[in-house]
């Protein structure tokens, strides 16, 4: 969620994340398959306002 939402913002070119170990990498790569619903995007936009 922390990477998927910024990726939908028009002013964000690419969210930046880093893994300190190779064990953390699969969780970071999982964001590529995450699609947020319109309702989730609305709620996140409201929370960040």
**Residues 1-49 pLDDT 10s:** 788 888 888 888 888 888 999 999 998 888 888 889 999 999 998 998 8
pLDDT for position 32: 82
Question: Residue 34: CA atoms inside 13 Å, Cβ hemisphere, count?
Answer: 17
How many Å apart are CA 10 and CA 29, to the nearest integer?
Answer: 21
């Amino acid at each position: 969620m922390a990477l998927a939402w910024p990726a939908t913002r028009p002013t964000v070119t690419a969210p930046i994340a880093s893994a300190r170990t190779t064990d953390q990498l699969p969780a970071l790569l999982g964001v590529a398959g995450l699609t947020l619903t319109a309702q989730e995007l609305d709620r996140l936009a409201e929370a960040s306002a």
